[in-house]
Chain A
Amino acid sequence: MALDSMEEIFEKMEEGKKPFWQVVLDTDVEERQVTAEASFEKMRTNWRAMLEAVDTYRGERRSVSGLVGGDGAKMADYREKGETLSGDYLSEVIQTALCTGESNACMRKIVAAPTAGACGVLPAVLIPLYRRGAEEDEIVRALYVAAGIGAVIGYRACIAGASGGCQAEIGSASAMAAGALTALRGGGAEQIGHAVAMALKNLMGLVCDPVAGLVEVPCVKRNVIGAVNAASCADMALAGIESRVPVDQVIDCMGDVGRRMPVEFRETALGGLAATPFGQAVKKQMNRRNR
């Protein structure tokens, strides 16, 4: 048993009459030779760490460069006024993505999902549902769905910015979150597949161009687009909207685009926003400070 393609997971679901999360859990039990309870509790630990990162967020903290911090608090204040365009759930998604991304940049404890740079996407879509009454066990099962999707993407394509650009980090996180949300809302195998495919397609080609090489600008706010994209793709899939390109082909394609992406756009901080006059100035400033 392995998590090598989405198609394979769907077949296992069909064969064993099991939900997606169960197939992933069973695979983990088999692979690591642990009990189902031990695996589930480990995943619960991840979930609680995601919650803790947001609960202990403080708007006063700043990152190493000073470029990042305080935006989660600004979003929270803005939401208080009740005038957001994006509505109650989505605006909390935005706030949670910012809080988690900023916590990461400020050397706080987060959960890499699939990387630290993309750590805000999954908690951003799940925590607001938890605050609205979703059961913890339900959320933990959704995390298995996300992990299974991430394992397939990692196996067939890549999940590191250095390998495939931001599409491999935020794109993968968004696909994981879209699938998790779809499953959480009762979507079946096909709908999960469409949600993943759409989320990944929407962010395809996104470059990794961190200013001064730091996981700060534009990384924190890219977590927002990853999360909002996940919510919209899950909604589309649950509405019965389909991805024309099959999900495994989309994943392979993302890997291919990543491999062909110029090295300047793969975390080297040599291109994109990192190469703008602003980006260069920050880099110079950081170099001076280090000396």
Chain B
Amino acid sequence: MLDIFEILGPVMVGPSSSHTAGAVRIGRMARTLLGGEPVRARIGLYGSFAETGQGHGTDKALAAGLLGLKPDDMKIPNSFDLAKQRGLKFSFEEARLRDAHPNTAVLEVERADGKVLTLQAASTGGGRIRVDRLNGVEVSFTGNFNTLVIRHKDIAGELADVTRELSNGRVNIANMSLCRDRRGGDALTVIETDQKVPRVVRQLIGELRGVEGLTYYEKEGD
């Protein structure tokens, strides 16, 4: 069922829930998953984002999101100036993709310490978004839940270990997916949860045998 506040809401800076509010959320998602202030961003626009993005402020909205602004922040129209002040260098280009949602952005973002993250996300309407690709691996999550993205070895029992830690921490799983590139290779598990995942639980999961990386996105509060 649909969240009624996704229907009546969000409170947002215009003009388009998909091209403006959704774009801010995509930028914020990239920032959160990067885990810090981005200093460089290469932004690819696809489909309707590329066609009508400028008239809708999609470019300003994505930059605003990368700077951590929310969709209702009146600073969105001035985000380019803000980026200059904060030392974020960014560029836009047209993205060439196949079979992507018509409102898609591809972001490559980098932190001052050199950590890089790539993300492909779609704005699916009404300000909702969906992450379709993370660091090259196909995923699917919306940011409507607390989300754990776990990179791990494709070995038996890995998922059981992860879910046990969540169970011990009294965290209920809402949705879950696991993808691997090849048998015995690297795998990516995305787990959406009802409760916030406590830091200690994340730490325990991070220390599990086979886990190579963990990224956490906490659902935004009201």
Contacts and interface: CB of A to CB of B under 8 A. Distances in A.
Contacts of A144: 4
Nearest to A104: B14
A106 B55 CA distance: 11
Contacts of B54: 64, 286, 290
Contacts of A46: 5, 8-9, 11
B11 A116 contact: no
Interface in B107-130: 125-127
Contact of B7 (A159, A214, A286): A159
Interface in B1-45: 1-5, 7-18, 20-21
Interface in A1-27: 2-4, 24, 27
A132 to B, nearest CB: 22
Contact of B125 (A32, A148, A159, A213): A159
B1 A31 contact: yes
Classify chain B: how many residues form its interface, as a range: 35 or more
A38 B222 contact: yes
Contacts of B77: 107
A216 B57 CA distance: 13
B34 to A, nearest CB: 26
Contacts of B72: 49, 109
Contacts of A159: 7, 125-126
B11 A45 contact: yes
A107 B76 contact: yes
Interface in B163-216: 194
B169 to A, nearest CB: 17
B82 to A, nearest CB: 15
A213 B8 contact: no
Nearest to B20: A116
B1 A111 contact: no
Given A38-B222, A151-B1, A286-B55, A111 B11 contact: yes
A160 B13 CA distance: 18
A140 B61 CA distance: 29
B133 interface: no
Given A143-B8, A159-B126, A112 B17 contact: yes
Nearest to A168: B125
A116 B10 CA distance: 9
Interface in B51-89: 51-52, 54-57, 72, 74, 76-77
A263 B74 CA distance: 33
Contacts of B127: 112, 116
Nearest to B78: A107
A204 interface: no
B18 A214 contact: no
A112 B126 contact: yes
Nearest to B5: A42
B143 interface: no
Given A64-B57, A110-B12, A154-B7, A116 B21 contact: yes
Given A28-B3, A65-B55, 9 more contacts: A27-B4, A33-B194, A43-B5, A46-B8, A115-B17, A213-B48, A213-B56, A267-B48, A269-B52
Interface of A: 2-4, 24, 27-28, 31-33, 38, 42-43, 45-46, 49, 63-65, 103-117, 119, 122, 143-144, 146-148, 150-151, 154-155, 158-160, 162-163, 176, 212-216, 267-269, 286, 290
12 contacts: A28-B3, A31-B1, A33-B194, A42-B222, A64-B54, A112-B17, A114-B126, A122-B8, A154-B126, A159-B7, A215-B14, A215-B16
Interface of B: 1-5, 7-18, 20-21, 48, 51-52, 54-57, 72, 74, 76-77, 102-103, 125-127, 194, 222
